[in-house]
Amino acid sequence: MTERYLAAGPDRAAECQRRVDAILEALIARDQRFGYPPPFCHKGCCACCHEVVYCTDEEARAIHRTCQAAGIAIDRARLARQLRHVSADARGNHTGATTWNDQPAEDQACVFLDPADGACRIWPVRPLVCRGHLAEATDAHCRPHNGREDPAARGISYPETSYLLSAVFTLHRDSIRQTMGRLLLALEAGFSPSPGSGGPACGPR
């Protein structure tokens, strides 16, 4: 699968996302044939849309292009405020420490979450991490607190997609640690984020 991803060319991020969607759809349908209920996740639940979002540099570029084409404003001020609660090293890589939930409640939401209906405004190009994040039975415990998962959370994990995501994240291990917020701010500033750049310091696009 890693080889197929590398050989997929400039559309590989979108192709990988489509493959993950297809795999998940098939696995959920299989589980339902065996009597298991589908994931709880649905439009409007959005509990998992209130934490740090990770994406690859290629996914960030696709999100940025989509926003430009669709006229979707990127709230740069909120992204900058959010990043103050995400600990990073000198290269801009997230260290894992966060005070995310110490922000005002309205700042904890993803900048692409529509507060009117709890829907994702970039759904077709949402990152891989958002696609494979599935809850079982309820979203009551989906929201972590400052990076610590709620021990009562009930998630659904499929090895088939976990292997694929692990391969992609390993290939993009430097850019994904930048977080979606830092990558988008670099693109908004007119720079193309590069792995470990620490922000818009790697030259214009």
Query: Tell me: the pLDDT tens digits for 124-181?
Result: 999 999 999 999 999 999 999 999 999 999 999 999 999 889 999 999 999 999 999 9
Contact of 191 with 201, CB cutoff 8 Å: yes
pTM of the prediction? 0.91
Q: Where are the alpha helices (DSSP H) in 132-188?
A: 159-171, 173-176, 179-188
- Structure token pair of residue 95: 């260290």
At residue 59 the predicted structure's pLDDT band, cuts being 50, 70 and 90, is very high
Token couple for 112: 């692409």
Q: Hey, what are 56's tokens?
A: 């690859």
- Which pLDDT tens digit goes with each residue over 42-53? 999 999 999 999
**What is the mean predicted confidence (pLDDT) over 104-128?**
97
Are the C-beta atoms of residues 176 and 10 closer than 8 Å to each other?
no
